[in-house]
A = this chain, B = another copy of it.
Amino acid sequence: MKVAILGYGTVASAVVKTLIDNQELIKARCDEEIIPVIALARTPKENALIPVVNDIELILNRNDIDVFVELMGGIEFPFEIISKILKRKKAVVTANKALLAYHRYELEKLAKNSAFGYEASVAGGIPIIKILKEGLSANNILCIKGILNGTSNYILSKMVEDGANFKEVLQKAQDLGYAEADPTFDIEGFDAAHKLLILANIAYGLRVKPEEILIEGISKVKQEDICFAKDFDYVIKHLGIARSKNEKVELRVHPAMISKDKMLAKVDGVMNAVSVDGDILGESLYYGAGAGGKATASAVVADLIDIARKEKNTAMFGYLNDTSYSLLVKDEIYTKYYLRLKVLDKIGVLSIITNLMSQLQISIDTFLQKPKKENDCSILFFITHETYEKNIQILIKELKKQNFIQDEIFMMRIED
């Protein structure tokens, strides 16, 4: 399957690199080589991994291209180009939410006979389009609430963490590259609104444009609001909300206070998350990186793999070829361990235990002995540094032989 990449920024580079780095994996998953053959860029790209041209006609005129990946941005120009491609019944993949917010109905009509992937247009690498369209297809969607813009969520999270004002945090976000030089599109809610319209389209089939819905950004949120929210057990998040009642759907994008113990309230920094309430499933939530080259590439390449799979048998477990993975034997598990021991409180006990550990190359990270409550017994708590399961099992076996050990030895692994 030959792929052309239109546009060559961060996402496009990551798409090309993923197709090359993970080509064996991709082949095993869809029984097809997906090859990026040419890219469009306004200016020449050094270090580009595939040939780059600046004349789009050179790409559109090639008959060997199976899928066109649109990563140019903008609205009217990509719409014009994609329309042409779809009319020739070729497949398209795009990450362009603004394009979809304004032209998705025309595109849907044109795409009747072509594959059209747009997973990357909402919430970056979280496969929320597929989840809503397929995974939750049995449900009437009662409500969608999404943290859909990483820049806004980063700023609000930092205002809580640092006690700083909106402007200070925005400046910091710009310095770190989390906010654009002109951040209006993100912080005033337009980006989130475009994404919400796409989700609402899948949930409700709604034909609505951004101008018709309520859109507010975070620029008026002050530190006083953050503090008030904290005092009353709320957290302020910028949400895109779609909620249905009696076939009316409300769509709105704005900062909102949510109870601090909701899962959505715990989504911090540049991360995105979408909570979906379905009449059959109830609430579910999907969390991950909503932006960035690699995260977006993850969704674009998944769309390409879906298109490649379309004509084939899909393997029941997603692999059509054998893989080279094998099971690691238990002894070789390597992690941190927690140990709880009940021991007789007599001289030399700790020395014996630590000596055993030392012989097995087990190093202690945390140790706690609480003042004893029961006759002559103490409880010892250890956390080790990383070690092999085999060593811990030998340690436990050796400890069990000691006459100062009371009760069972309890071991638990640590997963940070």
- Residues of A whose CB lies within 8 Å of any CB of B are 14, 18, 22, 25-26, 28-30, 104, 107-108, 111-113, 116, 118-119, 125-127, 130-140, 145, 201-202, 204-206, 208, 212-214, 220-222, 224-225, 228, 231-232, 234, 236, 239, 241, 244-245, 247-252, 254-259, 262-263, 266-267, 278-289, 294-295, 297-302, 304-306, 313, 315-319, 322-328, 330, 332-333, 338, 340, 366, 368, 379, 381, 383, 389, 408, 410, 412-416
Per the bound structure, the CA–CA distance linking A55 and B262 in Å amounts to 47
With a cutoff of 8 Å between Cβ atoms, the chain B residues found around residue A285 in the complex are: 285-288
- A408 with B294: in contact, given A214-B330, A285-B288, A316-B108 (CB under 8 Å)? no
Contact B280 A18 (CB under 8 A): yes
With a cutoff of 8 Å between Cβ atoms, the chain B residues found around residue A251 in the complex are: 327-328
5 A–B pairs (Cβ distance < 8 Å), ordered by A? A205-B319, A213-B330, A247-B326, A251-B328, A285-B288
- A412 with B323: in contact, given A104-B317, A131-B131, A340-B225 (CB under 8 Å)? no
Please give me the 8 A-B residue pairs with the lowest Cβ-Cβ distance, nearest first. A127-B135, A284-B288, A138-B301, A205-B323, A133-B318, A125-B281, A281-B298, A204-B325
With a cutoff of 8 Å between Cβ atoms, the chain B residues found around residue A326 in the complex are: 206, 247-249
Contact B108 A317 (CB under 8 A): yes
Per the bound structure, the CA–CA distance linking A245 and B328 in Å amounts to 9
With a cutoff of 8 Å between Cβ atoms, the chain B residues found around residue A228 in the complex are: 338, 340, 368, 381
Contact B327 A138 (CB under 8 A): no
Contact A232 B414 (CB under 8 A): no
**Selected contact of A22 from candidates B29, B107, B138, B220, CB within 8 Å:** B138
**Selected contact of A206 from candidates B131, B286, B325, CB within 8 Å:** B325
Contact A125 B284 (CB under 8 A): yes
Per the bound structure, the CA–CA distance linking A252 and B389 in Å amounts to 11
Per the bound structure, the CA–CA distance linking A412 and B225 in Å amounts to 9
With a cutoff of 8 Å between Cβ atoms, the chain B residues found around residue A202 in the complex are: 317-319
Contact B111 A135 (CB under 8 A): no
CB distance from A111 to the nearest CB of B (A): 5
Per the bound structure, the CA–CA distance linking A202 and B29 in Å amounts to 10
- A26 with B257: in contact, given A225-B340, A326-B248 (CB under 8 Å)? no
Per the bound structure, the CA–CA distance linking A129 and B53 in Å amounts to 40
Per the bound structure, the CA–CA distance linking A345 and B197 in Å amounts to 44
* Nearest residue, chain B, Cβ from A133: B318
Contact B134 A130 (CB under 8 A): yes
Contact B327 A212 (CB under 8 A): yes
With a cutoff of 8 Å between Cβ atoms, the chain B residues found around residue A201 in the complex are: 317
Per the bound structure, the CA–CA distance linking A267 and B263 in Å amounts to 8
A212, A252, A300, A306 — which one has the most chain B CB atoms within 10 A of its CB? A252
Per the bound structure, the CA–CA distance linking A214 and B331 in Å amounts to 10
With a cutoff of 8 Å between Cβ atoms, the chain B residues found around residue A297 in the complex are: 138, 280
- A135 with B140: in contact, given A232-B383, A338-B257 (CB under 8 Å)? no
**Selected contact of A294 from candidates B113, B136, B280, B302, CB within 8 Å:** B280
Per the bound structure, the CA–CA distance linking A247 and B305 in Å amounts to 22
Contact B294 A288 (CB under 8 A): no
Contact B294 A283 (CB under 8 A): no
- A256 with B414: in contact, given A127-B135, A281-B125, A285-B287 (CB under 8 Å)? yes
**Selected contact of A108 from candidates B249, B315, B383, CB within 8 Å:** B315
- A282 with B278: in contact, given A208-B327, A222-B340, A379-B224 (CB under 8 Å)? no
* Nearest residue, chain B, Cβ from A251: B327
- A412 with B131: in contact, given A125-B281, A208-B327 (CB under 8 Å)? no
Per the bound structure, the CA–CA distance linking A336 and B220 in Å amounts to 19
Per the bound structure, the CA–CA distance linking A252 and B413 in Å amounts to 10
